Amino acid sequence: MLALSGMRTRWITFVGSFVALALGVGLIAATGLALAATFDAPERGPERFAAAPVVVRAADHLRVDTPTGTRTKPLDHPGPVGPRTADRLAALGRTVEDRTFPADVTAAPTGPDAKAARTGADAKQPRTGPGTTAARTGADAKQPRTGTGTTAVRTGADAKQPRTGTGTTAARTGADAGKSRPGQDAEARVGHPWPVAAAAPYRLTSGRAPAAPGEVVVTIRPGGAPLRPGDRVLVRTPAGNGPRTVVGTVAGRGFEDAVFFTDDEAARISPDIDALVVHADATAVRRALGPDSGMDVLTGHDRRRADPDPDRDARALVSVNALLGTAAGITLFVSAAVVASTFSFAVAQRRREFGLLRTAGATPGQIRRTVCAGAVLVGVLASAAGVWLGAGGAPLLVGRMTGAGLAPPWFALGDASWPLHTAFWTGVFVATAGALVSCHRAGRTAPTEALREAAVDSRVMPASRWAAAVLVLLAGLGLPALALAVDPGDLLGRKSYITRPMLLVVGFALLAPVLVRPVGRLLTWLPARLPGATGVLVRENTAAGVRRTAAVAAPVLITVALAATLTGTVATLEEARAAESRTATTADFVVTSGQEGRPMAPAFVERARAVEGAVVSVSRSTAVTVLEEDTALVTSEARAVDPARLAAVSELPVTAGRLSDLDDGAIVVNEEWLTTRVGDRVTVWLGDGRKASLRIAAVLATGTGDNGVYVTRRNAGGAGVDRIDVKVAEGADRRAVAAALQSAGAATGTRVTTRAEWLAATGPGTNDQTRTGLRMILGIALLCTATALANTLVMATSDRVRDLAVLRLAGATAPQVLRLVAAEAVVAVGVGAVLGGVVAAVNLLVVWGALVLLGVMSAVVVPWGTLGLVVAAAALLAAVSAVLPASLALRTRPVELAGARE
């Protein structure tokens, strides 16, 4: 009954607590429901080979036996099906050879440009020598087939931001970072021989099958080019460019945009057999291949493994899971903090009531039970409301994520209910725990002391709070210090720089009652010396109302700390990577393939090498895998380079050895590897699964993680050229070299960029998806902060009506009182902003220290714009939330307010 009576008397306080808790639970429920939907990718059946009885292809996973069992890793470049294997299987039944290669389509040129369009092998006789095989790029000519975690397990880089430096996967996509390039209107397609179309199955919707070289069948998709039989198109393939005639069309099936050639022409363009459809019994096929053939025999649902990028759904959910996991964690932390702060302030407001109850004979246990009963009641009701809000808001959250490109279009909520239960009981627990902690001291205080404390806040830091604050701060400072000494690179991981600020935030929040007075006096030092009494009153009221000021400052502290740490760390790391790229890349021109997973046109490579006055360094993206401590396979991104040309276009941070010692029997590693002594041999598996023992020729500094592994072309595992760095030779004409490269690029649809353009495309600010995700996370934190600020200030102002009336009776006008209330709210926000800024400064200094220890000299990027917006929005909201209830209270005569009982 006392709990219900207290709720009726102080309904504003309980409404504020209810709203804060309901919103927090709602956010937890919404993010939890969305997170639960990322645990399972949609079940899809075979696509490319849905109508094929048996599919044979090279094994796409590396399997290594270890003392603790067999470990597997996806291969970066699975090999082809050998001709002997194809001949052996042809004896069992009809076989169809599949070849997959890039075949981009654009409108065929007419007039004088038509002759120039015929470049490369298409303008010559068919080639079958070694050069043809070299032009072939193995799995790189296919759709991306990297499995979930291919590079994530490398060195813990899954917790880091996308990399854009020299030697990384991201670096080779600089050309498609948003700028136009020659041939950009071409439709990116893949080529196949027509006989394999029946394996999908594709069915002709118009025209006929290709019967001669120069004839193609194309898929038609909604929104694509309206191609019809008889149209002339320009098709760009690894063998060159050439005009072709569309003789038929098939309906697209959604998983690829294809161009079908005759079987002979497809074999000329891409000699390697990527997969073989066998019309025979699977058991007979396995028996014919034998146990150690290195081939996979796929039937039933396993045929999906031969689809283009079969793990695309699961891989797409990895980033969504990381984003929602981060958002859910921050939501839980911020919600719990602001709800606990709100409940703590709500209990503190009732100190006079508790003092009266103690005077009337109530025991400490009765007071605690009264407070807990009210907290449980509010917690249950608010949590139930929050679950309802979360269930309704989750579809909106998913819709926003898919609309912003943070999640794939097919992403949808599942039927999981555990996030709702988790959110509900979390809300109840937070409400009860917050009330218990806050009322513990009130229950132990003597009646007369409680009545005395009701006027001015004093002794707001008991010994237990001091101990907790010191322990949390020691952990918040000690853990980064330990990481700086042991593994600085670990501090650059996403999980680290997101969770690290939380300990410091909690520590400063616990110390807020002690820090409020000195910080408040610092902020009011100048206003207190200006003419008028407002500045002095703000200073004294801030010092007297420590609990009120701390309750307002707490959510601002959390939001400012998170906003500055998250955005500042991401910007600092991006700037550090850009600095590494500027230092490491000394080429005058950088040419990339433009699309990840696709090789560069061989015709352009040939023409670039022939440019007079150009030092051309051709490189390939591949991977190497090592077995660490006989337990774990760790895959590292690598680049296959020409050692003699590498030094001319780059200045890599070598800490030991020499890059010139790199040869076919050697490897360049970075300091993250377990074995880093020059001359030692390491056993690695190359991108195509071959095992090799390589000598360490040089060791690179770890840096931000972009200094990868370097091998030679022989150890590239069948990778195709995807990047060319060009340096103008001393004494050569730069303009002539640039003109020759641009001419070659225009003829092959390859974009040639200067070093400055490439750095701008891959530098800070290019990852819009990361920034959108950060904005979503910060938006959640701001929503919690806004609610907590509004609730706390409405509760605080409604509890100060007698103080406001006394000011009016002392001669202050209503506008003066309102300005005073607004100024106090703004100062409280300022206190939170200062404390949050200190937390952010410590975290950014930790990141900077880690970069310095890793050999990266880069400035700390402070997000002043973001911080200014956050603080300004909080100050405006705080002023409005304080002024509105005060203005309503001032409508009553001051004499009546002064004489009113609380």
Predicted pLDDT of residue 271: 93
Residue 514: what pLDDT? 87
Strands 752-754 and 632-641: unpaired
Could you tell me which residue, 806 or 48, shows the higher pLDDT? Answer: 48
Report the alpha-carbon distance of residue 757 to residue 763 in Å, rounded: 10
Cβ neighbours, 10 Å, residue 696 = 22
Tell whether omega for the bond before 162 is within 30 degrees of 0, i.e. cis. Answer: no
Among candidate residues 312, 269, 244, 302, the one with its CA nearest the CA of residue 107: 244
CB count in 10 Å sphere of residue 695: 16
**pLDDT at site 705:** 74
Q: What is the pLDDT of residue 764?
A: 66
Task: Give CA–CA dist 213/584, Å, rounded.
Answer: 46
Cα–Cα distance for residue pair 779/331, rounded to 1 Å: 10
Quote the crossing angle between the two packed helices 534-544 and 546-584, to the nearest 10°.
90
Q: Residue 499 belongs to what H/E stretch? A: helix 494-510
Q: Mean pLDDT, the chain, as a whole number?
A: 81
pLDDT band at 446 (very low <50, low <70, confident <90, very high): low
Instruction: Evaluate whether 130 touches 549 at the Cβ level (below 8 Å).
Output: no
Calculated CA dihedral for residues 706, 708, 713, 719, nearest 10 degrees: -60
Concatenated DSSP letters of 31-67 = HHHHHHTTSSPPP---STTTT-SEEEEE--EEEEEET
Interatomic CA distance for residues 792 and 788, integer angstroms: 6
Q: Which long-range contacts (CB under 8 A, 24 or more apart) does 800-807 make?
A: 800/886, 801/889, 801/892, 801/897, 801/900, 802/897, 802/898, 802/900, 802/902, 804/886, 804/889, 804/890, 804/897, 805/894, 805/895, 805/896, 805/897, 805/898, 806/894, 806/898
Q: What is the pLDDT of residue 150?
A: 33
Residues 748-795: tens digit of each pLDDT? 778 899 998 988 887 666 566 777 777 888 888 788 778 878 878 887
CB of 496 closer than 8 Å to CB of 329: no
Residue 851 token pair: 């970069």
Amino acid 148: pLDDT? 32
Helices (DSSP H) in 260-363: which residue ranges?
263-269, 282-289, 312-348, 351-359
**Stretch (H or E) spanning 648:** helix 643-649
- Whole-number pLDDT of residue 790: 82
What is the per-residue DSSP string for 733-802?
A: -HHHHHHHHHHHHHHHT--EEEHHHHHHHHSTT--HHHHHHHHHHHHHHHHHHHHHHHHHHHHHHHTTHH
Q: What is the pLDDT of residue 188?
A: 82
Instruction: Give the per-residue pLDDT at 597.
Output: 66
| Residue 725 pLDDT exceeds 90 | yes
Q: Which of 451-481 are b and which e, b meaning 16 or more Cβ less than 10 Å from the residue's Cβ?
A: bebbeebeebeeeebeebbeebbeebeebbe
Q: Which residue shows structure tokens 């034998």? A: 290
Residue 501 confidence (pLDDT): 84
- Which pLDDT band holds residue 697 (cuts at 50, 70, 90)? very high
Residue 174 pLDDT > 50, yes or no?
A: no
- Contacts of residue 16, defined as CB under 8 A and 6 or more positions apart, other chains included, come to 342, 346, 791, 792, 794, 795
Q: What pLDDT score does 898 carry?
A: 55
Measure Cα distances from 260 to 234, 361, 621 in Å.
14, 91, 28
Q: Which of 87-91, 347-351, 878-882 has the lowest mean pLDDT?
A: 347-351
With cut-offs at 50, 70 and 90, classify the pLDDT of residue 169.
Answer: very low
- Percent share of the chain, pLDDT over 90: 33
Helix, strand or coil, per DSSP, at residue 855: coil
Quick one: pLDDT at residue 596?
66
Cα-to-chain-centroid distance, residue 648: 34
Residue 149 confidence (pLDDT) above 60: no
Domain boundaries, the chain: 1-44+310-456, 54-148+179-309, 459-584+766-902, 601-749
Asked whether the predicted pLDDT for residue 223 surpasses 80, the reply is no
Over residues 302-318, the mean pLDDT reads 85
Whose CA is closest to 335, among 370, 377, 383, 375? 383
Statement: residue 867 has pLDDT above 70: yes
Are 278 and 285 in contact by the 8 Å Cβ rule? The answer is yes
Which residues are bridge partners to 654 per DSSP? 700
Higher per-residue confidence, 41 vs 662: 662
**614-641 pLDDT, tens per residue?**
999 999 999 999 998 888 899 999 999 9
CA 476/CA 464 separation, integer angstroms = 18
Q: Minimum mean pLDDT among 185-199, 428-442, 679-693, 832-846: which range?
A: 428-442
What are the start-end ranges of the H helices in 349-417? 351-359, 364-403
